[in-house]
Structure 1
Amino acid sequence: MLRPTLLTYLLLIKACLSCLLENGRSAVYLSVVEDVKPGEVIGHLPIEGKTDGAKPDIQLRVVKGEEIAHIVPGSKDLVIEKELDRDEGQGKFELVVECTAQNVDSDFSQLNISVFVTVQDVNDNAPVFDARGYNITIKEELPIGTIVFADFEATDRDQPGPNSFVLYSILPGPHSELLEIADPFRPVVTVKSRIDYETIRKFEVILEARDQGEPSLSSSVPLHVSVEDVNDRSPYFKRQYYTCRSIKVGLYTSTFLFFLED
């Protein structure tokens, strides 16, 4: 007759063999995208024992993190319970799966298996400007390349990487030839071509911020521009010459005013 201690060891070995992870793993590592929907399978646990059929070798259930995921009865499929959002700090989590060896009557018939899940970021947030629109006043006839606006920014709530990397531009449209964002990596608007107050006194361009996710997301806001007149024209006479009739001396006195237009 086997001694109790030896019997315990044998039962433990049987339980361990039934709950053994494939390829000699010590834990299970899974990766899941953050937009996975509740009810979707996020992984198949690589455990040696059989879970289905009339006489399964093992039974599995989640004992830690059951509010996040569960195992489909009679299977090794891990199903997500709730929505995930990496941008809210759910970058990773740990589950503990209890593996119970069937037909083993012992306190040592259960083993716990750690399952580490990494949540991958998806591009689910578009860049957001720090205002719904902007208003600036600029002088006319500024040299090309002059910075006229740099007090704006767009941020993206996605995790650091392409999904949150923002590029700036001015969208094609009316008056987009007047201003530009020469460096898409910097939110700086400069003069692109001559702006004349006598030709245009107010105009609008559209600023765009676009992330580099796949597919990329973008947002846009208007930039309202008022043009300020500068003293860039000399006075001029309306006529090339004027004629004055002579009058008799002492008849009456008059004052002549000449108006020059700027």
Structure 2
Amino acid sequence: MDKIRPDAAAALEGLLHDGMLIAAGGFGLCGIPELLLAAIRDAGTKDLTFASNNAGVDDFGIGILLRTRQVRKMLSSYVGENAEFMRQYLAGELEIEFNPQGTLAERMRAGGAGIPGFYTRTGVGTQVAEGKEVKTFDGEDYILERGIVADLAIVKAWKADDTGNLVFRKTARNFNVPAASCGRICVAEVEQIVPRGSLDPDTIHLPGIYVHRLVQGEHEKRIEQRTNRPRAAAGSTG
């Protein structure tokens, strides 16, 4: 099957519908599927639920879909630097289901592995546990968390071959692997598509069986927070 599409809009053709659940990889602005998010914005798909660690910033990442009011609900760990995310939540305009970060990653991984739910101590005795089943193991309470199975997963990788085997670069792997695995359909945007057989099997982070469509593109790679040490004075030996 030919998985490669000419652009992000073509990669999403026939997959989008109002009210769908989308799992998105990335952490802050690191490893986010920026081209696919822009294509979703341009398609005008609305009432979306996103499972993603956070929503980027106001004008980048999922933040662009918050600004156009295409997102109804976020399953997230972190509001982060996104002022519009915070404003919509506090104003009652956006539904948020907060998840501890490890729990969110495991919910995605479980969904991709066909595991409908799991028990965890994380969140016991807090608002996270409200309305959830509690079970005792070895004298300790655990809460039941459900696996996430998304209608669509969108992820960003460094390299792919034409079969969809993916390699992520350093910390950009973050949520991309579990997000990709939990989608009924997974679309990946990549920086490079290399010939089949050129990837060392030991370096492949996600097998191509999980990936249904690929698009190669240019990426902006913004830095969310830049911290620089003051420049040393001229002639300083410090």
Shared fold, TM over 0.5:
no
TM-score of the aligned structures, taking structure 2 as reference length: 0.22
**Structure that is richer in strand per residue:** 1
Higher relative contact order (CA closer than 8 Å, sequence separation 6+): 2
TM-score of the aligned structures, taking structure 1 as reference length: 0.21
